Chain A
């Protein structure tokens, strides 16, 4: 066998990954210390090295600080909701092997494969204060109309509801796969010890799902930290920047205002935050598995 063969197989994919994933990190880091914008893009001599200026400015930019606050709001409310709902539904679907339960699996999975823009367009209509379905349903119950996307705090929650609806599917499937991997004998043993259903859930199921819960927590949290499409399509970050996420802030500065260096600095702050949060989660996970062993 030729020594070159393996390299021939891996090199096309590897080159593309280096070109569009690894190399860009270096560029992002370098340009975050420059004032590159549309002018600099056309004429490189107009690009100046400005040190930490971008970082200083972005960290004192009131909209950036607001977008950090909003993103934390999304993460703190969204992540637990996603875990509780998708785990709860997975447990219920795992309750029976009947055909209808397999059909439910399909139903709950469907929102997560559909196009985010189409879904956001549909939900903006559902949330419409006058013509929308939600306020109409509320009026049938004699409840007052809700300003779904008009009130700064409610708008954030409305976006979370939509994102939760989309996130349940994939995470439910991950939990289902993990649930089906739990050996039956554990439950039989627990029943012999007289454990009721709730005890079985808390003492057998949940501990054995620890890795799946950890996986879903990490991926969901990274996803929420990069929350973009829903606020972009539905609210454009409004009202009063109350739904602007960090990702939307970066997009707006980079591609609508063409402040590439400034946006790159913002993106690096997000990157570092994601790395720190992920490392902390791995640390916590490790400590837990140490005490369990």
Chain B
């Protein structure tokens, strides 16, 4: 970064300190959340509030699983995550189809895919509910998973990346008598590992965080996701903040850990997507 070479150390320190103060306020809610989740519900209602817990307790976390159905919510959430990876695979297939084949109506179909990105969720949620209701899929796991399975943005990213794969690779495999699906599975997907990693993490995060659609489709508690369960908890235990903080910690910490582990792929992914 030569353009800043003349910058004084003082300026760097000043900027660093501003960022540190700002950064502290960015993570303050998380610190407060984690510290509150191990307080007793008596301590949490103390005035003035304590910052550091006087007595540590895991009871709030235990209560999520013993008195509330968080194990069920967790299982549902993981099922959604699992299915969203099938969606990821379908996105990759479509991206490959658009990137590497020429066929009739290709451009029109691709523009149609892109157009779906502009449709706001509020417009489609009522009709999609009615469609699923017609097929008897409301209040089922299928109904929760199906509408969000594929997405235009994912297809677009796969297409962008796969367009850069040289055609000769596929031609050579075809001459060797490989089937089209074999080529996709054994050659294209392994080459696409960078974009798969980015999409995989984003898919995981989106699945783990899914809220509005499960809330609409699931009437029965046995289909609730963690997010839906947590919003329910806020309504029912509105004064038990320690319990609410435990539920929030349980939802947030896994994502932060996964993000920390894979962040270099995600942050690189913004360059892959070619936002210039």
Contact = CB atoms under 8 A, between A and B. Distances in A.
Given A121-B230, A270-B123, A108 B22 contact: yes
A224 to B, nearest CB: 12
A125 B245 contact: yes
Interface residues of B, number: 101
Interface stretch (B2-10, B52-60, B61-69, B192-200): B2-10
B119 interface: yes
Nearest to B170: A1
A260 B122 CA distance: 12
Contacts of A119: 29, 248, 252
A22 B112 contact: yes
B174 interface: yes
A16 B149 contact: yes
Interface string A92-131: 1101111011001111111101111111011111101011
B276 A13 contact: no
A17 B180 contact: no
A12 B90 contact: yes
Interface string B125-137: 1111111010000
Interface size range of chain A in the complex: 35 or more
A136 interface: yes
B256 interface: yes
Interface string B1-45: 111101100011001101110110011111011001000000011
A68 interface: no
Chain B interface mostly helix, strand, loop or mixed?
helix
B113 to A, nearest CB: 6
A284 B3 CA distance: 32
Interface in A41-72: 41
Interface in A6-25: 6-10, 12-14, 16-17, 19-25
A21 B119 contact: yes
A184 B106 CA distance: 40
B236 interface: no
Pick from B148, B152, B230 the residue with the most CB of A within 10 Å: B230
B127 A122 contact: no
A293 interface: no
Contact of B97 (A6, A92, A168): A6
Contact of A136 (B33, B48, B226, B248): B48
Nearest to A44: B134
Contact of A177 (B112, B119, B270): B270
B259 A110 contact: yes
Given A10-B97, A96-B12, A229-B212, 4 more contacts: A10-B94, A25-B127, A109-B259, A278-B118
Interface of A: 1-3, 5-10, 12-14, 16-17, 19-25, 27-28, 31, 36, 41, 89, 92-93, 95-98, 100-101, 104-111, 113-119, 121-126, 128, 130-133, 136, 139, 165, 168, 173-174, 177-178, 181, 184, 187-188, 191, 200, 211-212, 215, 222, 225-226, 228-229, 232-233, 246-247, 250-251, 254-255, 260, 263-264, 267-268, 270-271, 274-275, 278
